[in-house]
Structure 1
């Protein structure tokens, strides 16, 4: 039996989740109330697993199916000898219930559950608070009494469990719709909602668990998914063990291009990350002033000083992949180097200032199929002509729009980084706030370049690189905490992650 802590690889939108519900009920004959009972039971079991000594419970229930799940939880808690406070937002709550939610109330009422109409000043009596207010059907900002109750939950020092999704969170984008519950634990049912794992969802869900409610696999064959979640199994499939007869020529040659005056470290970090990620050969083309320092730190890297694009051109005949942008700057020197890289015909990984310089290079070009672009939200906004806040409000839409305009594979970095090649969307939910420091993107670009040189496709190199980078950061943080994490701390750990010896 799969553990609830083992999240599935498939991610869905709210509409796709509802389609799975309908398929289970209409095509496979599973009664809706039975699914609700399974959800309520699964949530109650998880509640006891996390807070086994709880004696008082507060469950806030809405009038939809999410509230029905909460009523099943309340009834089970009542039978278990736990004092239960069920908060509802209207004294006529029971009269408004329909379908499965009404059946849940009738069952809960039969085992002794009572309703408490909430109003401002109502005390939350539970040692643990359960959010079963709104579910995934929300389509506008939370207002009125619902918003006030959510704020009361958020002010409470007591732990909060969200049923399926924290109320007020958009399940498709991870955007907070006015105000949203900040949960310590979220148990998602049937379909893992993509918004739980990106943008503001990561701040509101706490630990995310999943229960498929025993739906047969055939149900999932009926409904297309929205995105794939990358995990260590994907890495193992993409990077099988090397043959004992291997030699460096099998694993590609990466050249990193960048490191303008005062920014040589960025290019060096990318080159060192590429070497540690398994590239057979790594070169670095940078300002001459950085050559000595680069060779001192990473003697395995072949470093050449270049003063112009003309100096760079003859060096581009040997590399299999070019990583352009770390520390590149936006000077005439940077512009010349980027132009030579674009003219080379080599597969590219473009990051940082290469992305900021790119629009002026695309006046007569609609992009390329073989490059990987790795913008953070600010860079993505500049490429799209949007505000950064608009990118974050719907990261899935933003990465699709970028890919449509620029081609290739686009990695939109951030909490829940997305990789999209025009076909499949991949989300990485590894990583942590310690990564919010300079140089992380430079290391990532080197990793992706190395995987590309090892003959992974652009999208596979992107999604595997993003995961290895984030997972390495998680391993670092597990040892020494988030504060003070440096980009270079990841480089040794990336080697272990990519080798499957975490």
Structure 2
């Protein structure tokens, strides 16, 4: 990528408006993809649920969630449109992967043996991916240059290097600065000092598209770096990243390219947050508050 790191392009608003034209009158759910959310280890159900809801509200035709068995009743009670499935092993996950058109992995995933088994199974597919949260932390663990016991154990738990692709064209990584620092083996302070350079470094290291979250989120594609000009301080609350991963996954499921899904997903997420903050204020803004304005933005 030949991008000059002193410049970032704005997200193309005209292209986004054209992409959100009304659907064909004879459309059916099979036209809009089947997104699979993988996450929600014990005690972290909410993250996977928020990602699933955001994915569905973005317009994915079907959304499944692969999660721990104890979460299923709560998921069905809150959002029966989501197909929540109990997954306790990589073997349990395989049938769901064969039905999915895109996978979002990371929200509430954790870093347990279960988490590593889920990530290993997902990475062994060639499906388009959105990789967030603890899935990024596990990737970072796999990238350690030394051969300490922890790194080696992680590699073995992820089914060995033969199954693991650490570079691929069809994934979107969505780290916040802390996760980015672990992926690049640097510090959050260094990330903050040159966000553009580090966004580019992430894309070049892992290929695909890298979204470096934060004020003025950056989207690094193979051709250019884009910057979101929207967003507000109310977004500094738990769950915002889970909703973003779901939005991006929902766009991917509907056939958007990885570049457009990342750029448009970040833009829609920030714009929905601005609308919600303008209505009720920044303080106390919750991630699920974005879902109502998000739907309005998706139907101009």
Q: TM-score by structure 1 length? A: 0.54
- Which residue of the other structure, out of 103, 106, 129, is the alignment partner of 1:322? 103
Say yes or no: does 1:367 pair with 2:176: no
Say yes or no: does 1:421 pair with 2:221: yes
Q: In the alignment, which residue of structure 1 is the partner of 2:245?
A: 445
Q: In the alignment, which residue of structure 1 is the partner of 2:282?
A: 482
Are the counterparts in 1 of residues 36 and 96 from structure 2 also a CA contact under 8 Å?
no
Say yes or no: does 1:304 pair with 2:104: no
Q: Which has the higher helix share?
A: 2
Higher relative contact order (CA 8 A, sep 6+): 2
Q: In the alignment, which residue of structure 2 is the partner of 1:355?
A: 136
Say yes or no: does 1:251 pair with 2:32: yes
Are the counterparts in 2 of residues 235 and 498 from structure 1 also a CA contact under 8 Å?
no
Q: Give the deviation of 1:495 after TM superposition.
A: 1.0
Are the counterparts in 2 of residues 234 and 464 from structure 1 also a CA contact under 8 Å?
no
Q: In the alignment, which residue of structure 2 is the partner of 1:406?
A: 206
* Counterpart Cα distance in 1 of 2:30 and 2:181: 39
Q: In the alignment, which residue of structure 1 is the partner of 2:55?
A: 274
Q: TM-score by structure 2 length? A: 0.90
Say yes or no: does 1:337 pair with 2:118: yes
SS in 1 for 2:287: coil
* Counterpart Cα distance in 2 of 1:361 and 1:493: 38
Q: In the alignment, which residue of structure 2 is the partner of 1:496?
A: 296
Q: In the alignment, which residue of structure 1 is the partner of 2:149?
A: none
| Larger Cα-atom Rg | 1
Q: Give the deviation of 1:237 after TM superposition.
A: 2.2
* Counterpart Cα distance in 2 of 1:421 and 1:463: 9
CA-to-aligned-CA distance 1:271-297 (integer Å, 9 cap, x gap): 000000000000000000000000111
Structure 2 unaligned spans of 5+: 144-154, 156-160
* Counterpart Cα distance in 2 of 1:312 and 1:444: 23
Relative distance call for 1:414 and 1:425 in structure 2 (3 A) is same
Are the counterparts in 2 of residues 279 and 454 from structure 1 also a CA contact under 8 Å?
yes
Q: Give the deviation of 1:359 after TM superposition.
A: 3.1
SS in 2 for 1:468: helix
SS in 2 for 1:390: helix
* Counterpart Cα distance in 2 of 1:253 and 1:239: 19
Say yes or no: does 1:264 pair with 2:83: no
What's the C-alpha RMSD, in Å, of the aligned pairs? 1.6
Q: In the alignment, which residue of structure 1 is the partner of 2:20?
A: 239
SS in 2 for 1:250: helix
* Counterpart Cα distance in 2 of 1:245 and 1:473: 32
Q: Give the deviation of 1:234 after TM superposition.
A: 3.2
Are the counterparts in 1 of residues 105 and 130 from structure 2 also a CA contact under 8 Å?
yes
Say yes or no: does 1:462 pair with 2:265: no
Taking the TM superposition and a 5 Å limit, the aligned residue runs for 1:280-299 are: 280-299=61-80
SS in 2 for 1:488: helix
CA-to-aligned-CA distance 1:124-149 (integer Å, 9 cap, x gap): xxxxxxxxxxxxxxxxxxxxxxxxxx
Say yes or no: does 1:391 pair with 2:191: yes
Q: In the alignment, which residue of structure 2 is the partner of 1:432?
A: 232
Q: Give the deviation of 1:366 after TM superposition.
A: 4.3
* Counterpart Cα distance in 2 of 1:401 and 1:359: 14
Q: In the alignment, which residue of structure 2 is the partner of 1:471?
A: 271
Q: Give the deviation of 1:238 after TM superposition.
A: 2.5
CA-to-aligned-CA distance 1:244-291 (integer Å, 9 cap, x gap): 111111111100000011100000000000000000000000000000
Could you list the runs of 4 or more consecutive aligned residues of structure 1 that deviate by over 6 angstroms after TM superposition?
none
Query: Across the two proteins, how many residue pairs are aligned to each other?
Result: 279
Structure 1 unaligned spans of 5+: 1-11, 15-171, 173-225
